[in-house]
Structure 1
Amino acid sequence: MKHRVLFGPAGSPINYKGAAYKAPKYINEEGLDSYEYQSPYGVRIGESAATTLKEESQKHDVLVSMHAPYYINLCAKEEEKIDKSIGHLISAARAGEWMGAYRLVFHPGAYLNRKPEKAMEISKQTVNRLFEELEAEGIEEFTFAPETTGKRTQLGNVGEVVELCATFDHFEPTIDFAHVHARGRGFLNKKEDYNCIFSTIEDKLDIDILHCHYTTIEYGRGGEVKHHTLAESDEYGPDIKDLLSVLIDNGWNANIICETPLRDEDSLRMKEIYENLI
């Protein structure tokens, strides 16, 4: 199969005034291919609206993913926070099933001054509990997509995300290249710098399409500080051309969700760059 890279915004387009669950038509008319529905502060979409989103996305050929709440921490120290994290993921899975989301993106958690290995051990125990509760709820159609995180205190470097996905069914990675860049304090500077990421994925996982996030990003000693626009790429990395070139060279299918402040406008700019490269 010929490789294909899709592009779309994280959240509704900046000039779109309608309901979020009816955004696919607008996104398609802009010339974009995908849409990441945002639930950062809790899953608030009901079944009717989510079903409409599924119908609209299918009608207008827009691939839908969903970002789960920010409050999730698979390795929290307090049992109450573990319980709440599982609840947020179940709510996301239920809504994602209604809306036909092909990925449920979430931030795995934070080390909380513990060794990464201990945080990973607790996280795996939490996922096992999550699966038990999903089965009890009768939720079957879901693919969780833990995201690489942007701060060095957080669980979620490339190796950790790949380890989670290699351990569990219904898990596929979200590679946020800006987070990788910021966490590594400027790690991605040329095409070759992407090779270790793709090699790690290829060695451990078998995936059909790589779910990605991208923005230019400002970072400090601790990692991520602030998202910037594509126009600011001379000052802030990583360079989208390097990423797109590597995807093309290696024949990867990918969905790049744009998280710059100009999310849909920069998605279109990225798509134009891609089409000029192929």
Structure 2
Amino acid sequence: MINMIRLGPAGNPVNYKGESSKVCSYIRAMNLDAYEYQATYGVRVSERIAEGIKEDSSKNDIIVSIHAPYYINLSSPKDDVRERSIERLMQAARAGEWMGAYRIVFHPGFYSGQDKEKALKVCEESISLLLEEIEASEIRDFCFAPETTGRISQVGSLSEIIEICQSFDNFEPTIDFAHIYARRRGAPKEIEDYMNILNLLEDNLDIEHLHCHYTRIEYTDKGEKKHHSLDEKDYGPPLKPILYALIEKGWDYTIICETPHRDLDALKIKEILMDISSGKI
């Protein structure tokens, strides 16, 4: 028997035209059970809509996460950039608390001409300031989830994400398998490779519920270039070895589908997962 694996879209389903406060009812009707609210271009959700998401998700047993803005760079050598980044994460945490989000996903930053050790140190200093502001603002219900990133110019290798999560309370990793694949320019591919990733997490962090992203991805020498749908099989990473590894490890998971066909591809992933668990493939 496998543990709970939840699946859902990054953002509203492709054909959904209603208010975000009711999107979880739509997702449940599709037989999916996860939703990542996209605040990637700014946290603009009102308290009313966010609280509606919380009520609707609870009613429909949908696990909710929120993706913070892309414009975050906690590693920047510029004070004003780090200050704005902290404020954007504050906004995401506040909105996340309103909507009952169990993870606040974010990209840590960029190396910005610094060596990797220096950039990571600056990032961690910024996180310390962020947590001071979180406490002062009386935001209590939060879990930040730094994400493995897809470009070699970004802070967010697997080892960097582990170090960040080791260093702070209320931090859990977001493992984006496509980003790892693009960052490593076509690896990993095999079940053993993915087990090595999960084993590294297990050896260094107390994992019970792992938040994951998946898409097929196009990459260059610089890393991530473009997301592709599940049917575009010329692009990796391969899905089945990931699912086999997740089942073998036996934690609880949320898999957020980030393909252009996000909810429709999430259903395809669910079908493949059911076939694997039943022994059909």
Q: TM-score range by the shorter chain?
A: over 0.9
Q: Which residue of structure 2 lines up, in the alignment, with residue 4 of structure 1?
A: 4
Q: Which residue of structure 2 lines up, in the alignment, with residue 28 of structure 1?
A: 28
Q: Distance in 2 between matches of 1:103 and 1:120?
A: 21
Q: Which residue of structure 1 lines up, in the alignment, with residue 106 of structure 2?
A: 106
Q: Distance in 1 between matches of 2:204 and 2:65?
A: 23
Q: Provide the alpha-carbon RMSD of the alignment.
A: 1.0
Contact 1:74 1:85 in 2 (8 A): yes
Q: Which residue of structure 2 lines up, in the alignment, with residue 187 of structure 1?
A: 187
How far did residue 91 of structure 1 move? Answer: 0.4
Matched residue type, 1:182: A
Q: Which residue of structure 2 lines up, in the alignment, with residue 122 of structure 1?
A: 122
How far did residue 54 of structure 1 move? Answer: 0.1
How far did residue 249 of structure 1 move? Answer: 1.4
Residue pairs, 1:142-221, within 5 angstroms: 142-221=142-221
Q: Which residue of structure 2 lines up, in the alignment, with residue 15 of structure 1?
A: 15
Matched residue type, 1:236: Y
Q: Distance in 1 between matches of 2:128 and 2:48?
A: 30
Q: Which residue of structure 1 lines up, in the alignment, with residue 240 of structure 2?
A: 241
Q: Distance in 2 between matches of 1:195 and 1:146?
A: 20
1:156-188 C-alpha deviation (Å, 9 max, x unpaired): 000000110011001000000000000000012
* 2:87 is the counterpart of 1:87: yes
Matched residue type, 1:74: L
How far did residue 199 of structure 1 move? Answer: 1.6
1:65-91 C-alpha deviation (Å, 9 max, x unpaired): 000011111111111111100000100
1:208-234 C-alpha deviation (Å, 9 max, x unpaired): 21000000001110100111111012x
Q: Which residue of structure 2 lines up, in the alignment, with residue 133 of structure 1?
A: 133
Residue pairs, 1:41-120, within 5 angstroms: 41-120=41-120
Q: Distance in 1 between matches of 2:63 and 2:47?
A: 19
TM-score with structure 2 setting the length: 0.97
1:24-82 C-alpha deviation (Å, 9 max, x unpaired): 00000001010000001111111111111000000011100000011111111111111
Contact 2:2 2:247 in 1 (8 A): no
Matched residue type, 2:190: K
TM-score with structure 1 setting the length: 0.98
Contact 1:175 1:212 in 2 (8 A): yes
* 2:236 is the counterpart of 1:227: no
Q: Secondary structure at the residue paired with 2:231?
A: helix
Q: Secondary structure at the residue paired with 1:66?
A: strand
Contact 2:181 2:187 in 1 (8 A): yes
Contact 2:20 2:49 in 1 (8 A): no
How far did residue 103 of structure 1 move? Answer: 0.2
Matched residue type, 2:43: V
Q: Secondary structure at the residue paired with 1:230?
A: coil
Gaps in structure 2 of 5+ consecutive residues: none
Contact 1:188 1:237 in 2 (8 A): no
* 2:263 is the counterpart of 1:276: no
Matched residue type, 1:96: G
Matched residue type, 1:9: P
Q: Distance in 1 between matches of 2:128 and 2:95?
A: 20
1:87-142 C-alpha deviation (Å, 9 max, x unpaired): 00100110100100000000000001211110111111101100111111111110
Matched residue type, 1:100: G
Gaps in structure 1 of 5+ consecutive residues: none
* Paired positions, count: 277
Dislocated runs of 4+, deviation >3 Å = none
Q: Distance in 2 between matches of 1:21 and 1:121?
A: 38
Q: Distance in 2 between matches of 1:86 and 1:140?
A: 17
Q: Secondary structure at the residue paired with 1:247?
A: helix
After alignment, is 51-60 or 13-22 more displaced? 13-22
How far did residue 2 of structure 1 move? Answer: 4.9
